[in-house]
């Protein structure tokens, strides 16, 4: 009897152990499968493929949350790399165009032994050279704004906006553009006054440049400073209709929306990029919304001084 009991006990224990091991193996595979998928996605990302997504399913547990977070990170990385690639392509184009123009002009001047061609091309060469200098200055301003630190002294954004509006009021009148302001005084926060002045100037310059066509009247620009929590700067302007789905790309360096390009190639597509960098340096947010009747509204929200 004891021999039978021992045999049955050993067989039962072996069966239970086998079933337990099999169930544990299956359960561990099911639990660790998302980790293997995440590891595969990380490996592909390390090889440069940022398009792979996990798209985890199942219960909303820690592993599902980890997979969703990884997908969001890949999304941001893919958008960032795409933006950097566009920046490199646009910067190369902007810098290559004046250099190619200069080379052609110099070749024409060298072919003319009398020197008259050089005298004729000298003003154009000077203009092209000035354009190249402006591009480099814009890139330096962009780099400086991205790495600048806000001052600890309080800055009055309404006062800065009022000064900038007074400086550009003559330009608005000559272009037949109505410049309106709604500035709430006393909106103080710890900010870099020089950078904030550049922020307001770039937004207002952008609003005046991309307004009604030259020679036409009736355009408008509205500048407002308000807010009791975050201090908000809003610059709205009339102008051509813009694609609402593409307004975020206006903050990319050298990017120009097609309707906003002037025939004289005024600007380099760096104004809003510098404004975006200034706002980020102050830990704020900036958005651009296409107006239904045409034009653009840009709003910068900056943290108030506690």
Q: Where is 155: in which H helix or E strand?
A: strand 154-156
The DSSP element (H or E) to which 235 belongs, if any, is strand 231-237
pLDDT tens column, 155-202:
888 999 999 999 999 888 888 889 999 998 877 777 778 888 888 988
Buried b (16+ CB within 10 A) or exposed e, 183-218: beeebbbbbbbebbbbbbbbbbbbbbbbbbeeeeee
236 has pLDDT over 90: yes
CA–CA separation, 218 and 298 (whole Å)? 20
CB contact at 8 A, 167 and 181: no
Tokens 């003559």 belong to residue: 170
- Predicted pLDDT of residue 250: 84
The C-alpha torsion from 153 through 157 and 162 to 166, rounded to 10°, is 70
Entry pTM: 0.60
Order of all β-strands in the sheet with 296-302: 177-183, 219-226, 231-237, 296-302, 285-290
Are 276 and 267 within 8 A, CB to CB? no
Residue 257 has pLDDT above 80, yes or no: no
DSSP-derived letter for residue 266 is -
Q: Which of 36-45, 55-64, 254-263 bottoms out in mean pLDDT, i.e. has the lowest?
A: 254-263
């Amino acid at each position: 009897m004891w021999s039978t009991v021992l045999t049955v006990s050993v067989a039962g224990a072996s069966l239970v152990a086998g079933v337990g091991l099999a169930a544990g193996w299956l359960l561990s595979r099911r639990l660790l499968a998302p980790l293997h998928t995440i590891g595969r996605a990380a490996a592909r990302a390390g090889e440069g493929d940022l398009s792979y997504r996990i798209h985890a399913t199942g219960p909303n547990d820690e592993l599902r949350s980890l997979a969703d977070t990884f997908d969001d990170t890949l999304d941001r990385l893919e958008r960032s790399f795409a933006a950097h690639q566009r920046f490199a392509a646009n910067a190369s184009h902007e810098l290559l165009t004046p250099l190619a123009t200069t080379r052609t002009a110099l070749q024409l001047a060298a072919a003319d032994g009398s020197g008259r061609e050089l005298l004729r091309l000298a003003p154009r060469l000077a203009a092209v050279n000035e354009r190249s200098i402006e591009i480099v200055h814009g890139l330096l301003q962009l780099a400086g704004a991205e790495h600048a630190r806000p001052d600890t002294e309080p800055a009055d954004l309404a006062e800065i906006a009022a000064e900038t509006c007074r400086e550009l009021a003559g330009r608005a009148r000559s272009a037949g553009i109505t410049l309106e302001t709604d500035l709430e005084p006393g909106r103080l926060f710890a900010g870099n006054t020089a950078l904030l002045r550049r922020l307001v100037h770039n937004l207002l310059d952008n609003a005046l440049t991309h307004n009604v066509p030259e020679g036409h009247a009736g355009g408008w620009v509205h500048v407002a400073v308000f807010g009791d929590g975050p201090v908000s700067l809003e610059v709205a302007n009339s102008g051509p209709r813009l694609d609402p789905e593409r307004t975020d790309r206006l903050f990319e360096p050298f990017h120009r929306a097609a309707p906003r390009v002037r025939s004289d190639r005024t600007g380099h597509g760096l104004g809003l990029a510098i404004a975006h960098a200034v706002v980020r340096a102050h830990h704020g947010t900036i958005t651009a919304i296409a107006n239904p009747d045409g034009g653009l509204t840009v709003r910068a929200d900056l943290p108030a001084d506690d």
